[in-house]
Chains A and B, each alone.
Chain A
Amino acid sequence: MDIEKLIIIGSGPSGYTAAIYAARATLSPLLFEGVAAGGQLMLTTEVENYPGFPEGIQGPELMPLFKKQAQRFGTRIVSDDVVSVDFSARPFTVKSGDREVKAESVIISTGAQAKWLGLESEAKYQGFGVSACATCDGFFYRGKEVIVVGGGNTAVEEALFLTNFASKVTVVHRRDEFRAERILQDRLFANPKVEVIWDSAIDEILGETHPTGAVNVTGARLKNVKTGETREVAADGVFIAIGHAPSSELFAGQLETKAGGYLVVKPGTAATAIEGVWAAGDVTDDVYRQAVTAAGMGCMAALEAVRFLAEQDHKAEGHPIAHKEAEKIGAW
């Protein structure tokens, strides 16, 4: 079996940026795109804070550009999801649904996925009024009333997007202020369709079952987290936007995680504790979680991988001054 020089797992801004840099260093990386190809930006609409697009760009338009740029320099892309990895010995093993690949180095850019509340009623009505993707499902709520749960950028953006369809958007947030960017908050507060209910969490999602067995959401019971008081709010849809959790389960037991499940990297680098394995983007970033920071971390990981592989080559050739040579090769 051939041994790949570099495998990149994930296809958001961090994975593709790593691929662009690694491909330009002629490593011909193999990138596993996964079923959530393109990452979280594929579920957004207008991206207004990615530099270089002064008029903004649609998330689903931006990500194919990343992909194209990565492919231009020789990145090979497979669409499979990685199902397991073995980092216990190098070359490392990466398995997907239909293949097993060995690699000298791996960059993990698996990103993060939307969090759910974890209520039974939420699971019951998922796809029937409960959604985590306003851009996918907003269309079905024309002239209807919806609830958005959360207080970060995603929640406020989803609420604003839903005002294009819904007659009323109620934002439910467990604190008394939003974490979202000021500009988004200002837009939200100025929108006459929006009502905000502070200090409240979803206690239960309410719905009905028709004689045919079909179910649909009729509203939610909210609980004030300060007073304990409950109230019911009628709605046809409930959009969950309470943040994201890192997609790091694949590496459990092999790589160290910190609170929230984020992969640990050495400060100021993208290196994990295993030599030859890097992590970049939302899977490791519990602070910034932006497309542009993910891209930056992907670049760091690729440059570190390029240097590492050059050092390995020199060691293999028995050069005594391998490190100095590698430094010359290094791109920074």
Chain B
Amino acid sequence: MSELTLTSANFDQSVNAGGKPVLVDFWAPWCGPCKVMGPIIEQLAGEMTDVTMAKLNVDEHPQMAQRYNVLSIPTFIVFKGGQPVDQFSGTMTKDAFKARLQKHL
């Protein structure tokens, strides 16, 4: 499965949809570490079918970043039933990232 691209218009609906947890990658094109994590999340979107992977460009939708107190990118928020249940930032290995997500399954 590929990643969802979120905007301020489809955000609430998307993180609420279905029974699966949703991982949102808050990123921006000018952020080096975001470029490192982007491909990892893309790969995991293919491998982990029980999580929905999504990304939100904070440059285009700063109000969403503000809503979730995102002050550093990349920041990742795991949503369950529309509610944030975990929030973390920075680069990490694919394995570490996967382990962090699996806690919420």
- Cβ of A309 under 8 Å from chain B: no
Q: Tell whether A35 pairs with B92 under 8 Å between CB atoms, given A137-B71, A137-B72, A140-B65.
A: yes
Q: Tell whether A36 pairs with B39 under 8 Å between CB atoms, given A59-B32, A135-B30, A140-B65.
A: no
Q: Are B36 and A127 in contact (CB under 8 A)?
A: no
Contact with B along A105-140 (1 / 0, CB 8 A): 000000000000000000000111101010111011
- Cβ of A326 under 8 Å from chain B: no
- Cβ of B33 under 8 Å from chain A: yes
Q: Tell whether A127 pairs with B32 under 8 Å between CB atoms, given A140-B71, A216-B71.
A: no
Chain A: minimal CB distance from B90 (Å): 7
Alpha-carbon distance A71/B102, docked complex (angstroms): 35
Q: Tell whether A128 pairs with B73 under 8 Å between CB atoms, given A79-B39, A97-B93, A139-B28.
A: no
Partner of A214, one of B28, B59, B69: B69
Q: Are A97 and B31 in contact (CB under 8 A)?
A: no
- Cβ of B91 under 8 Å from chain A: yes
Q: Which of A29-52 contact B (CB under 8 A)?
A: 35-38, 42-43
Partner of A135, one of B32, B39, B89: B32
- Cβ of B70 under 8 Å from chain A: yes
Alpha-carbon distance A59/B31, docked complex (angstroms): 11
**Chain B interface residue count: which class?**
20 to 34
- Cβ of A91 under 8 Å from chain B: no
Alpha-carbon distance A140/B32, docked complex (angstroms): 16
Q: Which of A7-66 contact B (CB under 8 A)?
A: 35-38, 42-43, 59-60
- Cβ of A237 under 8 Å from chain B: yes
Q: Tell whether A127 pairs with B90 under 8 Å between CB atoms, given A136-B73, A139-B28, A214-B69.
A: yes
Q: Are A97 and B70 in contact (CB under 8 A)?
A: no
Alpha-carbon distance A88/B92, docked complex (angstroms): 28
Q: Which of B10-30 contact A (CB under 8 A)?
A: 28, 30
Q: Which of B52-105 contact A (CB under 8 A)?
A: 58-59, 65, 69-75, 87-95
Alpha-carbon distance A81/B94, docked complex (angstroms): 9
Alpha-carbon distance A88/B39, docked complex (angstroms): 34
Chain A: minimal CB distance from B84 (Å): 10
Alpha-carbon distance A129/B75, docked complex (angstroms): 13
Q: Are A136 and B71 in contact (CB under 8 A)?
A: no
Q: Tell whether A43 pairs with B32 under 8 Å between CB atoms, given A127-B72, A128-B69.
A: yes
Q: Which residues of A contact B58 (CB under 8 A)?
A: 139
Listed in ascending order, the chain B residues whose CB lies under 8 Å from chain A are 28, 30-36, 39-40, 58-59, 65, 69-75, 87-95
